[in-house]
Amino acid sequence: MPLRGRVAVGAAALAVISLAVWLIFFSRPPAPVLQTEAARIGDVEISVLATGTLQPFLQIDVGSRASGAVVALKVDAGDEVKAGDVIAEIDSSTQTNNLATTRAALTDVTAQQRGDRAALDAAQLAYDRAAGLAAAEAGPVVDVEASLRALKTARAVLTSVAAQIDQARIAVRTAQINLAYTRIVAPFAGTVLAVTTRQGQTVNAAQSAPTIVTLGQLDRMTIDAEIAEADVINVRPGMAVYFTILGDPDHPVSGHLRSIAPAPTAYVSAAGAIAAAASSTAAAVYYNGVFDVDNPGRRLRTTMTANVSIILKAARKVLTISSTALAPPSADGGQRVRVVDPRGRLSVRRVRTGLNDGTRVEIRSGLASGERVVVGEASAAPTKPAEATPAARPRGMPRTVGGL
């Protein structure tokens, strides 16, 4: 390469190196981009979160106390019934025959009572006649004694028959009740939630009452919320509570906690005995908190999942900012925030805070609604050298962005 070319290449390389050194040592570092938000009126609350299940306030399994085939099923799931409406009918042949048998037995013992009453009347006459003859010394005393024994026997027989009549009447009433059991009726007005037994199916009530349908009242719902053992010590009956459902998370439903179970349901056996906690140490422990809400329009349905919030503390319609806007407490325990004025100037201001739920914090003094506070910083892209930027901002002055 000619000398002139080598000189030109060296000069170009030297220029590139000089420019790089100048950019490294003399260019201004990019100012941080401050993320801000406006203080606004809102709510701050500290709450316990739980998951619950919706059930009708009144729900029962309507069963059969009679055994036999279901000969008629008069409802289906979703039907509305009134108290006393017939839900199903069980084959009543056996119960009808039992009733006829008991009535026949009552008739028989009643007829026996009439015969025994006639025998008592005859024994009374025989005794009176024997006693009269003995008093007139016209008959032996032994006849009086024999007639008296016969009279007492007739009275005892009549008393026994009267007891048999009572037993027969009880048997008739029992047979009538058993016959009535073959007609399954609604115990209250409500909605048929589920049909467990179908027409033609045979049910056996010898050991337990088989369920025919499940009936519930849907105008009021009960929520069983599972409260973790770490939170249940802070919760008590009467606290305000609200929940949302998965299909409508924007419309909370409010109520008040009615009760809290004294023992976790996982430790309660079917017999009602509390099992030893040591046997389930690895399992999470939850206590059921129960509350009720009205259900206008029956928008809430059985077994829906409820995302429950039990309010421990709350501040309503107060001035709030994001909790991230708070600087670490000063040595005197005061709280401070960085405020950006409309002209973009940054200042530090002391504020007095109230309730803090970890996301929003209540501001009791030191800020006004609409003032913008710094909630974070973002890195800015490298800027050109100060000489190349018209009306350059003084070194270190941050830029701000709003809308958070």
pLDDT tens digits, the chain, 404 residues: what are they? 565 556 565 666 666 676 665 556 555 666 668 899 999 999 999 999 999 999 999 999 999 989 899 999 999 999 999 999 999 999 999 999 999 999 999 999 999 888 888 888 888 888 777 777 777 676 676 777 788 888 888 889 888 889 999 999 999 999 999 999 999 999 999 999 999 999 998 888 876 778 999 999 999 999 999 999 999 999 999 999 999 999 999 999 999 999 999 988 666 544 444 444 444 455 788 999 999 999 999 999 999 999 999 999 999 999 999 999 998 888 887 899 999 999 889 999 999 999 999 899 999 999 999 999 999 887 655 544 444 334 334 434 444 444 43
DSSP characters over 188-225:
SSEEEEEE-S-TT-EE--SSS--EEEEEEEEEEEEEEE
Comparing CA positions, the residue from 98, 66, 72 lying closest to residue 203 is: 66
With contact defined as beta carbons under 8 Å apart, do 218 and 286 qualify?
A: no
| Residue 69 forms part of a structural domain | no
Looking at residue 252, its pLDDT comes to: 94
- Show which of 153, 175, 197 is a domain's final residue: 175
Report yes or no on 267 lying in a domain: yes
Residues 215 and 307 in one domain: yes
Q: Do 340 and 373 fall into the same domain?
A: yes
Contacts of 392 (CB under 8 A, 6+ apart): 28, 386
The C-alpha atoms of residue 338 and residue 349 are separated, in whole angstroms, by 6
Q: Are 53 and 305 in contact (CB under 8 A)?
A: yes
From the list 36, 48, 93, the residue with the least C-alpha distance to 235 is: 48
Predicted local confidence at residue 146, as pLDDT: 83
Does 301 share its domain with 328?
Answer: no
The domain boundary, picked from 296, 314, 332, lies at 314
Domain count, the chain: 3
Position 72 in a domain: no
Flag whether 65 is in a domain: no
Range of the domain at 384: 33-46+316-401
DSSP 299: -
In terms of domains, do 302 and 233 share one?
Answer: yes
pLDDT of amino acid 1: 55
Q: What is the pLDDT of residue 113?
A: 85
Instruction: Give me the helices (H) in 86-185, please.
Output: 93-135, 141-180
- Cα separation, 166 vs 81, in Å, equals 38
User: CA-CA distance, 58 to 15, in Å (whole number)?
Assistant: 89
305 and 214, same structural domain?
Answer: yes
Let me know whether 382 and 348 are in one domain: yes
- The CATH number for 42's domain is 2.40.420.20
227 and 156 in one domain?
A: no
Are 274 and 333 in a shared domain? no
Residues 228 and 297 in one domain: yes
Query: What is residue 10's predicted lDDT score, i.e. its pLDDT?
Result: 62
Q: Give a yes or no: residue 201 inside a domain.
A: no
CA dist 23 and 194 (Å) reads 78
